[in-house]
Amino acid sequence: MEVGIVVFPGSNCDHDCYQAVKATEGLTPRFIWHRETDLGDVGAVILPGGFSYGDYLRAGAIARFSPVMEAVIDFAREGGVVFGICNGFQVLTEVGLLPGTLRMNDSLRFICKEINLKVENQHSAVTKGTAVGSILTMPIAHKMGNYFAEEDTLKMLEDEGRVVFRYCDESGNVTPTANPNGSLHNIAGICNPEGNVVGMMPHPERRVDHYLGGIGGKAIFEALSAYLHEYAGV
């Protein structure tokens, strides 16, 4: 199953995603340059982390106008899997495929540290089959990772079970002290109603091998493979 990895000017986690996909059974990675208008025969698209277009204006605000994004939007609306990581999550909110926005961290500083995530939804494209309550450990690396949405949007996300990941402590407790950036409801990742579009701020691609410090992100790519082969019909 081929997975396209979009490369924007300023992407810096594209090769990390490439290697993570390559190391996952059943998946084959392919780079897609941001000027391309045809995704080809891919089963999923990943929007990687980095600083697309230097994060000018605000993170993801320019990348949303890249030629490739029209194809990505069409692909998502037709049921294709689109997975945004960090800057990719920001792009998904800018383009309207996911609600809310990512604001400056409440510390107003760039944060790069190991965090714990609690899986809240086992039906999304990147958590299919993962037990609710599972704790995954991986790094964050962002300055604009503070998830914000209006109260009615937050209620909708909660009521519809669309919060995929929350920041938690080592025991799985969702507490203010476990929240690294001020995100409302400790939200670290969300999905669309169908679960085929997912965005998350932490970096699973940086934790897929013990040589990288752990395998907390490996389950996410394995779930993606399972979802594509068993449920997406591609």
Give the residue numbers annotated as catalytic, written as ranges.
86, 203, 205
Residues 6+ apart with CB under 8 A from 212: 206
Sign of CA dihedral 160, 48, 117, 79: positive
CA–CA separation, 48 and 105 (whole Å) = 20
CA–CA separation, 199 and 221 (whole Å) = 14
Whether the CB-CB separation of 205 and 20 falls below 8 Å is answered with yes
